[in-house]
Structures are given as C-alpha cells and as structure tokens.
Amino acid sequence: MFEPKPWLLAHGRSLTLGPRALVMGIVNVTPDSFSDGGQFDNLERALRQAERLIAEGAQIIDVGGESTKPGAEPVSPQTEQGRIIPLIAELAKRGDVAISVDTYRAETGRLAVEAGAHILNDVWGLQREPDMAGVAAETGAGLVIMHTGRERTKLADPIEDQRVFLARSLEIANDAGVGKDSIVLDPGFGFAKETADENLDLMARFEELGSFKYPFLVGTSRKRFIGTLTGRGPDQRDAGTAATNVILRMQGAGIFRVHDVAMNVDALRFADAMIDRGLVAQSERCREPSV
C-alpha cells in the first residue's frame, strides 16, 4: 500500500501515490460551510487562501461551492458554478498545483475540468448523478468516489457497508469506462456516521478497506467526532485532525483533505518517516538467512 502508484488526472497530469502522503487543502467558496463558511466567499479571498495553502505544502487544492454539512440548504447549479469556476480558472493559470472540484453534479464537474480542474471529488460516490462517471471517463479526470450513509439505510457493520456502497460506485465507474488508475476511494468520515464511536470504529478497521486495492483519500478535518472527543469547536480541531491523519496514514491512507495544511504536513512527515523505517526493517528481516 506504500508502493508508488500513478494517479492519472485531467490535462495530462498525474500524481504519485504511496511512498509519501499527499495533502489536499480545502477552499470553500461558500457562506455556510461548517468551520470556515463566509471566510473565502469571494474570488480575492479564496485565491489568497489557496495560495497560502499551496505555500504551506498542499499538492492539491479542493474547491467547493456548496456546503455538505448536515442540514445545509442546497444551492442551484448556477450558484455553485458561479462561485467556483472563476477560482478554478485563476488557479489553473499557476500550473503548479492539482485542482480538485468538490461536487456531485456532472455538469458542474464538466465545466470545472474545462476551466482547468484535474480531479472530480464526488461526495455521493456517483450515486446521486451517475453521469459524473461519464465526465471522468471523457475528460480523463481523476475521480474521488466517496462513501456516504445519507438518504439510505446503512448496514450494521461499518466495513461491510463500505464494501456494498463502494462496490456499486465502482460498477458505475467501470460501466462508464473510467480507468482504474484514475480512481481514488474515500470512506466518508462524518457523512452519516452518526456517532463518534462509528467514526472511530471505521478508523480502527480502516486497514480492512485495503481489500479494494485502490488508493484512499480521507477527510476527517475538523469533523464533529473530533470535537466530541476533544471538547473543542470546529476551528480548534486541527491538532485532533492531525492525530487522526497520522493513525490513518500508518494504515495506508494516501491523501489527506484538510483545512490546516501546515500542521498536517508536519505530522504526516513523521508518519512517513516511521513507515520508511518499518519498511527498511522488514526488508532487512527478509534478507536474514534462515537458521
């Protein structure tokens, strides 16, 4: 799970997954996101925030124009597109960062890739608008398929629920012609995982998801279950976020979607250093002559 693997993206780009953790910085161009709503809801502020996250070490910027917090009011496709397309176009001019669009709408995804985005990040795992898979196949975009428990009855076992949901999403992607090297999975921490225990159980058993044989992105950043354990509000959960990311990195997660890039880059460097030491030790044990 730590061996190099190319993640193929739109516009001829790719990223290498496996040996080093990659950090995806969040820029929500929304008035109502749960921890940073209204902070970056115009182009100038959003661009400044994206540039700060890139300077802190983000290899990917994830741009969202509709809040996905529980109970958030949906916005029209036109509103979503009006918020994010100008920012994506400006970021694309830089050329030094991969751009992800956080949307489940196929048309928004298509317009975002045309504006310069490289990755489609679908929080409904292709099961709200399956045409998103066609957009990924036609444009060559990287595709993040996220698990969610919203608007359906979940299975009691969290890993089995992941397997059933994501298997259906992968079937949609395969039928549309999306290449395996374009796909990354996301277990969807906080998305209808109703209690802290449910999220912690998923984290404790995360390594079991390796049976999918796909790379994984995780997004625990500032989620409510971190607040339940720490007693801290959304904007004070970055240390807890970094702790969860180290735990998940040691179990094989490859990409980490976060609000505070600098703290998580530092934490993940230590995780990578320990992984390296473990792999070296394992290699040395394999070379030892048998007695």
> What letter represents residue 44's amino acid?
E
The span from the CA of 90 to the CA of 42, in Å, is 13
Helix crossing, 106-115 with 131-139: angle to 10°? Answer: 20
| Residue 257 among the catalytic residues | yes
Within 10 A of 64 (CB to CB), how many other CB atoms are there? 21
Choose, from 20, 222, 249, 257, the residue flagged as catalytic. 257
| Residue 110 among the catalytic residues | no
CA atoms within 13 A on the CB side of 149: 23
Choose, from 223, 224, 237, 249, the residue flagged as catalytic. 223
The span from the CA of 217 to the CA of 130, in Å, is 20
**Using an 8 Å Cβ cutoff, are 75 and 65 in contact?**
yes
Q: What is the torsional sign of CA 127, 131, 133, 135?
A: negative
The span from the CA of 257 to the CA of 68, in Å, is 14
Helix (H, G, I), strand (E, B) or coil at 21: coil
User: Which are the catalytic amino acids?
Assistant: 223, 257
